[in-house]
Amino acid sequence: MAMPIPPVKTLMTFTVVAQTLSFSKAAVLLNLTQSAISKQILQLEAQIGCTLFERSGGKIELTEMGRRYLPSVVEALENLQHATSNIMQTPHTKSRIALSLPPSVASMWLIPRLEHFRQSLPNIELAVKASITSDIQNRFQGDIAVHCLPLANLDEEAELLVRERLMLVVSPALITSPIRNIRDLLLYHSISHITRPQIWQQFWHSHGIAPDSPSYGVGFEHFYMALEAVKQQQGMALIPEFLVNDSLLKGEVINPLGLYFDSQYGYFLYSLGYKRRLEPVSQVISWLRDKMPR
């Protein structure tokens, strides 16, 4: 006799609890009571004969068995979802691929290239979402996810799409006198990146400059915000080259002395193995590889 399979509803509850590590948060997300969540987990643990969560002082953590079980459950549920979606599609229906990107990559790089994407892959429709934190539980978001991570990232399942080269850019309207050397740039505000506050110091150091008291303007979380501030003449910013090239070509910003800085970050692609084997996912990954500069 085949071993009974836990209900799909229960497995979905397990994945949500594992991702949130909270019965109360899972209850809110699933629109259930906390006691119903707890009951489902206890029934699942009883059915498979092992403890999936350690409970201590109101906090929960996945056990070793829970960590081993989670990836298989997630893959099985998503495989079932894909199978259902594929069987419902007619030959004339477009495949829908969920693509998760950092907000700046989506707004500054992808959107200007959507027409090329449509022409290249007319039978694929993208559903673009902003990528959230890239910790291990969130790296595989949607069908394909791109995260900005340190190059020292040793995750074997990550594929490096592009190394990050930060380029110094400023609005041409802000330049009121000739820029002859790098020290002339110290007259302008340096727009900071609040999640990576060290990049300006690294930039100056890489060019042999140690400014006594650099002038910093407003800090922003995302590169697209910093670029908009540059266009509004709020100062100069360090923006990834592949994200700012379009604005450079349009003359909206300039790189006065051709200065850049190779950071220790890169943009990595994640996609579960069984998803990569799906033709539409494989085609989108190939398009990303082809269009992103190496």
- pLDDT (tens, 9 = 90+) of the chain, 294 residues, equals 566 889 999 999 999 999 889 999 889 888 899 999 999 999 999 999 999 999 887 789 999 999 999 999 988 888 887 777 666 654 556 788 999 999 999 999 999 999 999 999 999 999 999 887 766 667 778 899 999 999 987 677 889 999 999 999 999 999 988 899 998 998 888 998 988 888 999 999 999 888 766 667 678 999 999 999 999 999 999 999 999 999 999 999 999 999 999 999 999 999 988 888 889 999 999 999 999 987
Distances from the Cα of 151 to the Cαs of 106, 110, 244, in angstroms? 21, 22, 21
pLDDT at 89: 57
Give 13's DSSP letter.
H
Query: Is beta strand 124-130 parallel, antiparallel or unpaired with respect to 95-101?
Result: parallel
Give 219's DSSP letter. Answer: -
Residue 110 near residue 128, CB atoms below 8 Å: yes
